C-alpha cells in the first residue's frame, strides 16, 4: 500500500504540473482544447490524491504498522472513527489531507464552471494547480506519509512492524475532533478559489462584475466552514482541555481567526463594488490577504515557529512555506500593481452617512483587528529575533486590544444595514434608530438595576439589544409591507420576503447569530469557580449549586483506564443533575487526560473536572466552574451557519439573472472561438 500511495502522489504531482502549464498556455493562446486538457488534469490530480488518501486510510484501518505514520498515530483498540481521523492527526497525514481537500475544490471548480467563466478558467486552473503542485511536492519529498518502518540489523535495514501503534493523542479523542479539522481545513483550503479567480481576472483584465460575483460565493462557503471549524475547535477546548473556557488566544486559534476576519471584511466590501463600482483595488487586496493568511495559518500550525497547545504536528517544513508565501505575495501584488489602471472607482461617495461609509468603517475595524492579532501572535518570534528574549503574548494582551474593537464591530452590525446606499437622511436615521436606542437604553438600565457592573459585559448586552432590534425591525418592516400589499399572513410574508432576497435576509440572520455569540462571550464576566479534594460523601459548593461526591470508582476499557467521580448535584436545594467526570489514562500513548462533565443550560453550564488524585490523601482533585451563557456561543454559531446557508441559496431573481448571464457569456465566447 505504501507503493500505491507514493504512485498516487507522484502521479498527482505530474497532473498538477501539467495543469499549471496547460492552463497558462490555453489562456494565452485562447485554445479550448489545451484549456480542457488542463481541466482534465485537475480531475486527474483529484483522482490520484484520492488514491493516496485511500491507501493511507486503508493502512490505518487495517492496523498496518509497517507504515511509520500508522504506527505513530493509531493503535489496534482505537475506535474506528478515530482511526479515520488519524489521517489528519500528524504532520504528514494532515498535509496529505490538505492536498486532498484542495483537489476536491479544484474538481468542483472545474465541474461547476464547465460552461461559464470560460475566459477566466485557464488561469484559475493554473493557480489552483500551482498551489496543488506545491503541496504535492511537500507531501512527496518532505513530509511523506508512505514511509516504511525499518530496523537496523546486522544484515542491513529491514522492514519492521511493531505489535501495536503508539495511538492517537488522547486530547484528540473527542467526537467533534473528528469533524473540527476537516471543517477548519475546508475553510483554509477553500480560500484558494477566490484567490485563483482574482488572479485570473487580473491576468485577463476581466475585472468587471463577473469575477466578483463568482468569488463572493466561493468565499462565503470556506468562510462559513472556517467559522464552523473555529467554533468546533472552541467546543473541543471547552470539553477536553478542562480549564473551563473555549478561547485562549493561542497562536493556532489566532491563525484560524485571521483569514476569517479578513474574509468577513471582503464579504462586506464586495457589496460596494457590486452596487457602486467602488473599492475595486481594496477587494483584490482583501482576497490576496485572506489567501495569504490561510497559508500563513497552515504554516503557523505546521512549522512550530510559535509554540501552541494545539500544535499536534510540527516539523521543519517552515522554510518551504516561507518561500511559497513569498512567491504568492510577489506574484499577486505585482499583478495587482500592473492592473491598477483597470481598477478605478466608477462612482464617488455622496455622503459620510451612507451604507458605503458603514462598510468602510467595518473594514477599518476588521483590518485593525487582523493587524493586532497578527502582530500579537508573531511578537514572540520578533522579540526573540530582536532582543533574544522569549516573551509570551497571551490573553491579557488580546482581550485588551480585541474587546473594544469587537464592541465597535457589534455596533456596526446593527447600524450598518440600516444606512441607505449613497446618502442617509437625518429623518431616516431618526426613524430607524429611535426604537433600537430606546430598547437598548431600557435593557441597559434594567441590567444596572439587576446588578451588572462589568463594563464590557454591560456594553455587550446594551449593544446586543440595539442590534437585535435593528435587525428584527428590518424583518418586521418588510413583512408588514408584504402583508398589506399581497394580503399574506405574517409567516407567509416573512418566508416570501426572505426567499425573494436570500442574500440580504440571510445576512441579517448572520448578524443575529453574531449578536448571540457576543452575548455568550459576555457571560465570561460572571464566571464562578471552586476547587477541592473529595472522597465519597464530601460536599463542594459553588454559587447556588451543591455537589455531593457519591463515589470514586476505577475501571478499564480496551483503550484506556479511568477513575470516575460520581456527583449528585442540587441547585437551590432541589435535585438538579448527576455528573460523572473522569480521569483517563490512555494505554497506547501512556498519557493521562480528563473527561469533563458538563451540564449545559441556556442560562449557565455546570462544568466539573476531575483533575487527578492527590498522592498524599488519595482524594480526587476536583474543579467546578459555573460558566454563564456559554450555550449562546454554540447557538449563535448555529444561527450564523444557517444565515450563511440562507444567503447562499439563490433567490428567484438571482437565478433568472444567472441564466441570462450564462447564455450571454456562452454567445460571446462562441463568437471569440474560445
Per CB under 8 A, contacts with another protein among 469-528 are 481, 484-486
Minimum distance between the CB of residue 88 and another protein, rounded to whole angstroms? 20
Of residues 401, 516, 552, 647, which one binds another protein by CB under 8 A? 401
Using CB under 8 A as the criterion, what x/- string covers residues 599-638 for binding another protein? Answer: ------------xx--------------------------
Find all residues with CB under 8 Å of 245, minimum gap 6, and list them.
237, 238, 524, 627
Contacts with another protein in 555-594 (CB under 8 A)? 583, 592-594
Q: What is the smallest separation between the CB atom of 634 and another protein, expressed in angstroms?
A: 20
Residues 606 and 579: beta-carbon distance below 8 Å: yes
| Least distance CB 165 / another protein (angstroms) | 22
**Closest CB 625 distance from another protein, rounded Å:** 11
What region does 443 belong to: left with phi over 0, alpha with psi -120 to 50, or beta?
Answer: alpha
Task: Give the contact letters, 269-308, x = binds to another protein (CB under 8 A), - = no.
Answer: --------xx----------------------------xx
Binding span for another protein by CB under 8 A among 10-18, 137-145, 255-263, 351-359: 351-359
Q: Which is nearer to another protein, 485 or 671 (CB)?
A: 485
**What CA–CA distances, in Å, run from 246 to 399, 458, 600?**
14, 21, 14
* Residue choice 58, 331, 456, 526 for contact with another protein (CB under 8 A): 456
Instruction: Return phi, psi of residue 295, to 5°.
Output: -65, -40
Buried b (16+ CB within 10 A) or exposed e, 539-560: ebebbebbbebeebeeeeeebb
Q: How far apart are CA 433 and CA 553, in angstroms?
A: 59
Helix (H) / strand (E) element for 583: namely strand 582-586
If DSSP codes are grouped into helix, strand and coil, which group holds residue 372?
helix
Closest approach, Cβ 585 to another protein, in A, equals 9
What are the Cα distances from residue 555, in Å, to 217, 558, 584? 51, 10, 10
Instruction: Give the one residue of 80, 156, 163, 346 binding another protein; rule: CB under 8 A.
Output: 346
287: left (phi over 0), alpha (psi -120 to 50) or beta: alpha
Q: Which is nearer to another protein, 125 or 415 (CB)?
A: 415
- Within residues 223-242, the interface with another protein by CB under 8 A covers 240-242
Query: Which of residues 11 and 89 has its CB atom nearest to another protein in the complex?
Result: 89
In the complex, minimum distance from the CB of residue 379 to another protein, in angstroms, rounded to a whole number:
5
C-alpha cell at 266: 471582503
Coil, strand or helix at 540 = strand
Residues 311-330 that bind another protein (CB under 8 A): 311
Provide DSSP, 218-267. Answer: HHHHHHHHHHHHHHHHHHHIIIII-SS-S----HHHHHHHHHHHHHHHHH
Q: How far is the CB of 496 from another protein (least distance, A)?
A: 12
What is the DSSP secondary-structure string of 272-340?
Answer: HHHHHS--HHHHHHHHHHHHHHHHHHHHHHHH-SS--TT-----TTHHHHHHHHHHHHHHHHHHHHHTG
Rounded to the nearest whole angstrom, what is the least distance from the CB of residue 236 to another protein in the complex?
Answer: 11
Quick check: 395 binds another protein (CB under 8 A)? yes
What is the closest distance, in whole angstroms, from the C-beta atom of residue 49 to another protein in the complex? 32
Least Å from the CB of residue 353 to another protein: 6
**Which span sits near another protein by CB under 8 A: 18-26, 134-142, 256-264, 398-406?**
398-406
Distance CA 644, CA 231 (A): 15
CA gap 95, 132 in Å, rounded: 11
Choices 62-70, 149-157, 196-204, 380-388; region in contact with another protein by CB under 8 A: 380-388
Residue with cell 502522489: 9
Size of the site for another protein (CB under 8 A): 75
Distance set, CA 63 to CA 56, 71, 81, 93 (Å): 11, 8, 14, 15
Q: Which CB sits closer to another protein, 114 or 344? A: 344
Stretch of residues binding another protein (CB under 8 A), selected from 204-212, 334-342, 427-435, 627-635:
427-435
51, 411, 546, 577: which one binds another protein (CB under 8 A): 411
Of 529 and 556, nearer to another protein (C-beta) is 529
Closest C-alpha to 91, from 188, 181, 226, 170: 181
Residues 150-209 that bind another protein (CB under 8 A): 171
User: Phi/psi of residue 161, each to 5°?
Assistant: -130, 120
In angstroms, give the least distance from the CB of 614 to another protein.
11
- Binder among 51, 149, 408, 577 for another protein (CB under 8 A): 408
Amino acid at each position: 500500500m505504501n507503493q500505491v500511495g507514493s504512485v498516487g502522489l507522484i502521479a498527482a504531482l505530474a497532473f498538477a504540473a501539467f495543469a499549471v502549464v496547460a492552463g497558462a498556455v490555453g489562456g494565452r493562446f485562447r485554445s479550448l482544447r489545451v484549456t480542457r486538457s488542463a481541466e482534465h488534469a485537475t480531475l486527474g490530480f483529484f483522482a490520484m490524491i484520492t488514491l493516496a488518501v485511500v491507501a493511507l486510510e486503508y493502512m490505518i484501518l487495517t492496523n498496518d504498522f509497517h507504515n511509520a505514520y500508522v504506527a505513530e498515530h493509531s493503535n489496534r483498540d482505537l475506535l474506528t472513527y478515530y482511526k479515520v481521523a488519524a489521517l489528519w492527526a500528524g504532520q504528514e497525514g494532515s498535509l496529505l489531507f490538505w492536498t486532498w481537500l484542495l483537489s476536491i475544490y479544484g474538481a468542483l471548480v472545474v465541474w461547476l464552471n464547465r460552461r461559464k467563466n470560460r475566459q477566466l478558467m485557464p488561469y484559475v486552473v493554473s493557480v489552483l494547480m500551482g498551489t496543488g503542485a506545491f503541496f504535492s511536492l511537500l507531501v512527496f519529498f518532505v513530509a511523506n506519509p508512505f514511509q516504511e518502518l525499518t530496523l537496523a540489523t546486522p544484515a542491513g535495514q529491514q522492514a519492521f512492524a511493531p505489535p501495536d501503534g503508539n495511538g492517537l493523542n488522547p486530547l484528540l479523542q473527542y467526537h467533534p475532533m473528528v469533524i473540527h479539522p476537516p471543517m477548519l481545513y475546508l475553510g483554509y483550503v477553500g480560500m484558494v478559489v477566490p484567490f485563483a479567480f482574482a488572479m485570473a481576472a487580473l491576468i485577463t483584465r476581466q475585472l468587471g462584475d463577473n469575477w466578483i460575483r463568482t468569488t463572493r460565493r466561493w468565499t462565503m462557503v470556506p468562510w462559513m466552514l472556517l467559522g464552523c471549524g473555529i467554533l468546533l475547535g472552541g467546543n473541543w477546548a471547552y470539553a477536553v482541555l478542562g480549564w473551563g473556557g473555549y478561547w485562549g488566544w493561542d497562536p493556532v486559534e489566532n491563525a484560524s481567526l485571521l483569514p476569517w476576519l479578513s474574509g468577513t471584511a471582503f464579504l462586506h466590501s464586495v457589496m460596494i463594488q457590486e452596487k457602486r463600482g467602488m473599492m475595486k483595488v481594496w477587494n483584490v487586496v482583501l482576497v490576496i490577504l485572506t489567501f495569504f493568511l490561510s497559508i500563513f495559518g497552515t504554516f503557523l500550525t505546521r512549522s512550530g515557529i510559535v509554540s501552541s497547545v494545539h500544535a499536534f504536528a510540527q516539523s521543519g517544513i517552515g522554510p518551504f512555506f516561507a518561500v511559497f508565501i513569498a512567491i504568492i505575495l510577489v506574484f499577486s501584488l505585482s499583478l495587482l500593481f500592473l492592473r491598477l489602471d483597470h481598477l478605478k472607482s466608477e462612482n464617488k461617495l455622496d455622503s459620510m452617512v451612507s451604507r458605503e461609509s458603514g462598510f468602510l468603517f467595518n473594514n477599518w475595524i476588521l483590518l485593525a483587528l487582523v493587524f493586532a492579532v497578527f502582530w500579537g501572535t508573531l511578537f514572540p518570534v520578533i522579540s526573540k529575533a530582536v532582543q533574544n528574549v522569549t516573551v509570551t503574548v497571551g490573553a491579557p494582551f488580546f482581550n485588551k486590544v480585541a474587546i473594544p474593537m469587537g464592541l465597535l464591530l457589534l455596533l456596526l452590525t446593527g447600524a450598518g444595514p440600516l444606512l441607505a446606499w449613497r446618502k442617509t437622511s437625518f429623518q431616516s436615521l431618526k426613524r430607524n434608530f429611535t426604537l433600537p436606542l430606546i430598547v437598548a437604553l431600557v435593557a441597559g438600565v434594567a441590567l444596572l438595576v439587576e446588578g451588572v457592573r462589568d463594563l464590557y459585559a454591560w456594553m455587550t448586552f446594551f449593544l446586543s439589544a440595539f442590534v437585535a432590534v435593528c435587525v428584527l425591525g428590518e424583518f418586521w418592516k418588510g413583512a408588514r409591507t408584504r402583508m398589506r400589499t399581497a394580503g399574506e399572513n405574517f409567516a407567509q410574508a416573512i418566508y416570501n420576503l426572505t426567499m425573494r432576497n436570500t442574500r440580504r435576509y440571510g445576512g441579517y440572520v448572520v448578524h443575529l447569530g453574531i449578536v448571540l455569540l457576543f452575548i455568550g462571550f459576555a457571560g465570561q464576566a460572571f464566571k464562578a469557580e471552586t476547587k477541592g479534594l473529595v472522597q465519597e460523601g464530601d460536599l463542594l459548593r459553588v454559587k447556588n449549586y451543591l455537589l455531593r461526591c457519591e463515589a470514586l470508582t476505577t475501571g478499564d476499557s480496551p483503550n484506556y483506564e479511568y477513575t470516575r467521580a460520581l456527583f449528585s448535584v442540587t441547585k437551590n436545594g432541589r435535585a438538579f443533575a448527576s455528573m460523572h467526570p473522569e480521569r483517563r489514562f490512555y494505554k497506547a500513548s501512556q498519557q493521562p487526560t480528563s473527561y469533563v462533565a458538563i451540564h449545559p443550560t441556556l442560562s449557565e453550564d455546570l462544568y466539573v473536572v476531575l483533575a487527578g488524585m492527590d498522592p498524599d490523601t488519595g482524594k480526587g482533585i476536583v474543579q467546578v466552574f459555573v460558566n454563564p451563557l456559554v450555550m449562546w456561543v454554540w447557538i449563535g454559531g448555529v444561527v450564523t451557519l444557517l444565515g450563511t446557508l440562507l444567503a447562499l441559496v439563490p433567490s428567484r431573481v438571482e437565478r433568472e439573472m444567472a441564466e441570462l448571464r450564462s447564455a450571454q457569456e456562452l454567445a460571446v465566447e462562441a463568437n471569440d472561438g474560445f
